[in-house]
Structure 1
Amino acid sequence: MKKNKSKQNSTGTIALNKKARHDYHLQEKFEAGISLQGWELKSIRQGKVNITDAYVILQNGEAYLVGCRITPLNQASTHVICEPERAKKLLLTKRELDKLIGARERQGFSVVATAMYWKKCWVKLEMYLAKGKQAHDKRDSLKDRDWERQKQRVMKHSV
């Protein structure tokens, strides 16, 4: 028996959206499957995906991932017409969709993609209901992060 699997990282994380935590107050977490084409899956396995500007739109009772860029591989895309930024359908339950639609329409939340990762053999998307931060909120969070870092330094040197 030969084990020839090369994992890029042990956590299974494919892509992160670090900017989301800086720009939004993240409230409630959701996990969704993504409907992908074959060439997209091959590119994801190679790590050629970017979700920095990705967000979720809700229309006609369905959720779509928009702004996610999957760069096609040269080998995989010679015989297929590739759209690197096509809207990808998200696979959610009816209850989850109703909750997302209600929060967006009634309370003014946005739905922001924060991470893409492997779960067994499926690609999953982590997304949050989020409210946008004002400029002063961003400064406060930076100040709090710096203060936490300083506390850790002081505790490390005092022991």
Structure 2
Amino acid sequence: MAKQKKTSPGNIAQNKKALHDYFIEERFEAGVALAGWEVKSLRAGKAHLTDCYVLLKDGEAYLIGSHITPLMTASTHVIADPIRTRKLLLKGRELEKIFTAVQQKGYTCVALSLYWKKHLVKCEIALAKGKKDHDKRHVLKERDANREMQREFRQTNLK
């Protein structure tokens, strides 16, 4: 049985692939409409956001492709669909801002993480621009260069 890594006590799931594939421009916090068995599964940390995105339709936002594995003990009386479409709860101004950015400016709306805020489940979504392959390579080179600079800095401070 593999151990699950958790970065913080409030964090449920992260979409690291989105951070690799997109330049994140602006972040929003949205509530998620969930069923009871989904909340119990999220408390157990059984969620994945790897191929997840946000669909904007009819003035509302929906989370598509998120996978919440049902617990056997919690979903005995319900037919559980692990990858059902979940509604995101946003304010009207935020929805309008996201709609205009996606339609007019060519942004993509992606889900970055699921986390607990007190007793509520929140989803961090972001407006993002897609990275090209050369952009990804450039980011990796910058990260390696920064790591080397940190190593050199530590070496000089130790002496």
TM-score between the two structures when normalised by the length of structure 2: 0.93
Pair 1:76 & 2:74 matched: yes
What percent identity do the matched residue pairs reach? 55
Pair 1:45–1:107, CA change in 2 (3 A): same
Structure 2: 5+ residue stretches without partners: 1-5
Letter in 1 for 2:113: A
Give me the whole-angstrom Cα distance separating, in 1, the residues matched to 2:145 and 2:29: 32
RMSD of the TM alignment (CA)?
Answer: 1.0
Letter in 1 for 2:93: R
Q: Where in structure 2 are the equivalents of 1:56-135 lying within 5 Å?
A: 56-135=54-133
* CA deviation profile, 1:114-152 (whole Å, cap 9, x unmatched): 111100100000111001000000000010011111111
2:47 to 43, 46, 49: 49
Measured after TM superposition, the shift of residue 19 of structure 1 is 1.1
Letter in 2 for 1:151: M
* CA deviation profile, 1:55-88 (whole Å, cap 9, x unmatched): 1000000000011000000111211011100010
* CA deviation profile, 1:74-116 (whole Å, cap 9, x unmatched): 1112110111000100000000000000000001110011111
Give me the whole-angstrom Cα distance separating, in 2, the residues matched to 1:158 and 1:51: 41
Measured after TM superposition, the shift of residue 11 of structure 1 is 4.1
Give me the whole-angstrom Cα distance separating, in 2, the residues matched to 1:151 and 1:53: 34
Measured after TM superposition, the shift of residue 53 of structure 1 is 1.1
Structure 1 stretches of at least 4 aligned residues deviating more than 6 Å after TM superposition: none
Give me the whole-angstrom Cα distance separating, in 1, the residues matched to 2:32 and 2:54: 12
TM-score between the two structures when normalised by the length of structure 1: 0.93
Letter in 1 for 2:116: W
